[in-house]
């Protein structure tokens, strides 16, 4: 599937409600989700894979994985409003794709997230701007798993991801760097729109690198 085609499909999904500032809910746009999920597919292959979209928001990443051939996607989300949007967005898909989707209402780091048999984790977790270390439960659960690869979108200024990964015997490489647009979603935002630099990471076990070594990672 071409990036533009996938981006159009993803951009038509109902948006993330972005109602809870403490959860740092910022919607991943269709263009970014498209290019990123196509890169994940190129590197690790969604076909015949079970994927977990952790902190799924409106489900855009997991739905991208479904559209690219994932055999099963588990959407993990804690916010009731977002869960309703995920359900509606999955309901807009073809019946075959709907049958490969599972929604799990859970708070990462508090509730159990079953990862047995999962191949790939994708996530855009809270970055810890509003609540310090809000991303840690997501990273800790992922790094404690036995999945093949973990793909994380995070602030380009974050310096703790690679050290955390190394503590759990994961290696890191950068899939892409880009800008993440931040609409004035919450009352504390002074500007109507902003943007920030982000990095899409791929974490893998030793010997499973896919990209050239990134000296800046």
Domain count, the chain: 1
In a domain, 196, yes or no: yes
CA angle 209, 215, 217 (to 5 degrees): 70
pTM of the shown model: 0.92
Q: Helix (H, G, I), strand (E, B), or coil: what is residue 88?
A: helix
What's the pLDDT at 131? Answer: 73
Average pLDDT (63-90) is: 97
Q: Is 19 within a domain?
A: no
Model confidence at 186: pLDDT above 80 = no
> What is the average pLDDT value for the chain, to the nearest integer?
91
Residue 25 lies in a domain: no
What confidence score (pLDDT) does residue 194 get? 79
pLDDT band, residue 17 (cuts 50/70/90): confident
Provide the domain limits for residue 100: 3-14+30-204
The shares of helix, strand and coil residues in the chain, as percent rounded to the nearest 5, are 30, 25, 45
Q: Please check whether residue 168 lies inside any domain of the structure.
A: yes
Residue 48 lies in a domain: yes
Q: Taking 60 as the threshold, does the pLDDT of residue 168 lie above it?
A: yes
The Cα 181–Cα 29 span in angstroms is 8
Position 215 in a domain? no
Domain harbouring 60, CATH code: 3.40.50.150
């Amino acid at each position: 599937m071409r990036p533009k085609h996938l981006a159009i499909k993803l951009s038509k999904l109902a948006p993330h409600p972005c109602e809870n500032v403490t959860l740092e809910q910022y919607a991943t746009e269709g263009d970014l989700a498209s290019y990123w999920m196509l890169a994940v597919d190129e590197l690790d292959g969604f076909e015949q894979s079970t994927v977990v979209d952790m902190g799924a928001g409106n489900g855009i990443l997991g739905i991208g994985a479904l559209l690219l051939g994932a055999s099963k996607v588990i959407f993990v989300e804690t916010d009731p409003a977002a869960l309703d949007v995920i359900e509606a967005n999955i309901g807009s898909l073809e019946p075959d794709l709907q049958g490969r989707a599972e929604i799990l209402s859970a708070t990462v780091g508090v509730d159990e997230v079953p990862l047995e048999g999962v191949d790939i984790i994708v996530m855009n977790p809270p970055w810890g701007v509003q609540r310090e270390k809000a991303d840690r439960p997501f990273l800790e659960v992922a790094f404690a798993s036995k999945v093949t690869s973990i793909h994380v979108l995070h602030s380009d200024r974050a310096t703790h991801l690679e050290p955390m990964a190394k503590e759990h015997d994961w290696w890191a490489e950068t899939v892409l760097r880009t800008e993440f647009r931040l609409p004035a979603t919450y009352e504390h935002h002074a500007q109507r729109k902003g943007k920030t630099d982000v990095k899409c990471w791929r974490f893998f076990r030793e010997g499973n690198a896919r990209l050239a070594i990134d000296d800046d990672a």
